[in-house]
Chains A and B, each alone.
Chain A
Amino acid sequence: MNFIDNPRKIRGFEKHVRVEKVSRRSILKGLGITGGFVLAAPVMSRQALAYETGAGKMPHGVVVDPRVFVSVAPDGIVTIVGHRSEMGTGVRTSLPLIVAEEMEADWSRVKVQQAHGDEVKFGNQDTDGSRSTRHYLMPMRQIGASARTMLEQAAAKRWGVPATEVKTVNHEVVHSASGRKLGFGELAADAAKESVPSIEGLKLKDPKDFRYLGKGQVGIVDLHDITTGKARYGADVRLPGMKYAVIARPPVTGGKLVSFDPEAALKVPGVEKVMKVQGWPWPSKFQPLGGVAVIARNTGAAIKGRDALKLVWDDGPNGKYDSVAYRKELEEASRKPGLVLRKEGDADAALKGADKVIVGEYYIPHLAHVSMEPPVAVADVKGDKADIWAPVQSPGGTRDDVAKTLGIPEGNVTVNVTLLGGGFGRKSKCDFALEAALLSKELGAPVKVQWTREDDIRNGFLHTVSAERIEAGLDKSGKVIAWRHRSVAPSIASTFAAGTVHQAPFEIGMGLVDMPFEIANISCENPEAAAHTRIGWFRSVSNIPRAFAVQSMVSEIAQATGRDQKETLLALIGSPRIVKPEVKDLWNYGEPQDSYPIDTARLRKVVELVAEKGEWGRQVPKGHGLGIAVHRSFVSYIATIVEVAVDDKGKLTVPRVDTAIDCGTYVNPERIASQIEGAAIMGLSLAKYGEISFKDGKVQQKNFDDFQVVRMDDSPVVTNVYIVPPGPDTPPSGVGEPGVPPFAPALINAIFAATGKRIRSLPIGKQLEA
């Protein structure tokens, strides 16, 4: 017996909400591409919350029903559903842990069950935007408290005592007055019959009684399986009779197959079939690019068969895409006025009248996600039913897209979410699952589509390429009186709508128009840029180029005025206050400004904390240097100090990294530390090596030899993480992404301190040599 009887019955308060441009999928509505996307989303009662989040505005909103998320078996084992995708952040542990906390369940008697993609049942499942803890801390507490209340009601009835006299302690309900106790298992059947309590009446635990939340002593649920090879990723799914496929896709975005010769491929031992894969014209969101699939009895044969294919492509409109020429275009555009997005005072006049103007032009190329598990999916399509197994960040969106692509009802599609071998935004696009579905339908057999690393690098949804130009005007005293920031980059929206030339609100809100400095004259502009390849979300998104530009400029101002980097930074941040940029429809990561304002007191605090703990200003050996940077993203505040060492040959090493994060109320500090440690590696990777470039429309890199990432021998020797203790009602904020943006500028500022060389173009590559 368990609590799951009719999960559709209770959805809390329902009301229609306007879908805003806050998620991967709702962007479609915002851009006017699909119609009829009105959602009935349950919205939590305001009274029950100490703060409001944007959770209710996500597609399908939030479901707060213990019968959907919790079941109790007669042996007392509590099963808690994890409805978000696990890609390394620890969310599959953290959210169920919150439920267990409120429920007073003993974690050693809890099992976690992964939800399949069903947003009507579970609420929004898009695991992106550093949203999971932010949106689900309170709902998971409410679910746990509801389950506990139902167990208590059942026990009170059995004993014939008022429910107020019983309480739950560590997997048992107890009646202290009589000394009676009942275990969760003994109460399961009766508790399932209890009505679900209203959210308003729920009694949440006093945080001082927390056993798990905020403690960080619980390992991730998959730890043992991961270390023994039993953990099942998308790539590990095997079905009886399953075929293995790899696909040759157009080498240029928007290209098409002209002809192919399968003969040599079919001679490869193990190859069974060669077939065309349906493609969609560019841009078409996440729909497959099309091409030719080689079907074989194992992946190795399929790869060998694909190598033997003879293919003729029409490269289409992007066949001339060339990164060297495109960079010039972007930089020239950044030197001319663009669409003004934020205007305060008169930046033009103030720059003209300034005693000194510092100009910084910063460039960051395209980047590829290269999650260790390349895209992969298994599909079994039979008639009008489709079963999918895939490492997707968007189980609900994948279900929608598979249904639409196959032309079958959504209810006939089951998306089984496996573990993700890394995501970083790549796996929020389900193109690989759609390919598997199309092939399975045509073959009439289960199929696994495996992307090779070369496919991943050449046919992905890349991080944009940016030219960021900042002009800072200083008065005689060295105070910054004018700030003009022009950001030029092809938008993610170009993957959804042809002809897109301006960045979307969710991109300009990432470090451009939300710039927090106390400056009288500000102009933030966005000149036009057209895309020539598929652009997608990459961990931290536009915050990467913006933090790099803004925080490099801070160091350039410090240099020009002969002041300390940290003091210059604090002077620019200015007084503790709430920043309210004069921007129409200011995007705030989908969160209400009331709960998540731009708070410079918190920004200052992380700078001061990291400076204290990271010993800013300490003596470092010759050839070493310290750099600092701070950035607010995903409504969290993060500051980083990097120590570099550059030897006389220009070899760069990183002896130490210190990072302070204020992510509000938090669940698992141990996983926060791991995210920040990893963010330093990803930040170092992109700064040192990260570059995807195009020539004749084609990506020039192919694998980890020419698209390098940091390895252990050049990773930071030590990364220290400091978490700001939250105030009593501080809402939770993002952790997965905010760690990356400040890293590159802190590194670059440290390199300047060590060598006097100012790097404005990433990657660093060979710039420090000679």
Chain B
Amino acid sequence: MYAQLVETGAQRVRGTDELEGQERVFQERIDAGVKIEPKDWMPEGYRKTLVRQISQHAHSEIVGQLPEGNWITRAPTLKRKAILLAKVQDEAGHGLYLYSAAETLGVSRDALIAQLHAGKAKYSSIFNYPTLTWADIGAIGWLVDGSAIINQIPLCRCSYGPYARAMVRVCKEESFHQRQGYDLLLALCNGTPEQKAMAQDALNRWWWPALMMFGPSDADSVNSAQSTQWGIKLFSNDALRQKMVDQTVPQAEYLGLTIPDPDLKWNEERGHYDFGAIDWDEFFNVIKGNGPCNRERLATRVQAYEDGEWFREGLNAHADKQAARGAAAA
């Protein structure tokens, strides 16, 4: 998802009855659905896993601004431009909520951002694909933000209080993102044949990367089992992906678009859509830094940060001057 393949350090998941002392009390609280708060005792593995997961999630929000920001100056109408600006601004806010949640675990935002800029931190694979046409902006809102909602709604109930509360705020705003994307595609699909073809092309390119967002099957993953026991993962990758496919297929049909999967068909027995095999080689290649835009995304992010240095310095200088004046007057 926005955090993919999160390492927990676990070799084997121990049941609550195998735990002792504080760790057992901690696990019993989680089993009872009591939220863990920043000052509560927590196992080091839980803290580290959450830092990894929340910071990856935050980085994804921030890097996720780039593919869409790319189209702000080229939006076809003033209305669409204002909507896209608001959407991209929301993503910056989502990043901030999440960095704040990570900071409650004893890391600083500046340190996390430095890790991202040094290429040491992961962010979602999806943002390493290019936005070639205006229809891609619609496809991102519909498919990428749609997938994010499916992942984030359960996280509103996760065991760590600050993360859960950040997710509540994010989810409130995310629905607008998905709808503006669908609305954009609806306009294209009701437009000229060329516009509809553009929408189809965007779906063709974004469908598989969107399904990859959920990550490979984690049915046998010890990390996922540990995260599940800790209450920071509530559904398997496959279950969330199935949900995304099931809800998206009828939406594509309404648009009159064809999902680029010849194996996609309704399975009456399962009550779900069956779909074709995902190219996980592509996914791991993107994760390793070899996607179409990995280098460009990171370089753009670093440049934006460096270009803002003079402004941050100016704010610091002003704050220091005001503080000195206050001290002199006192």
Do A and B pair up? The answer is no
- A residues near B (Cβ < 8 Å) are none
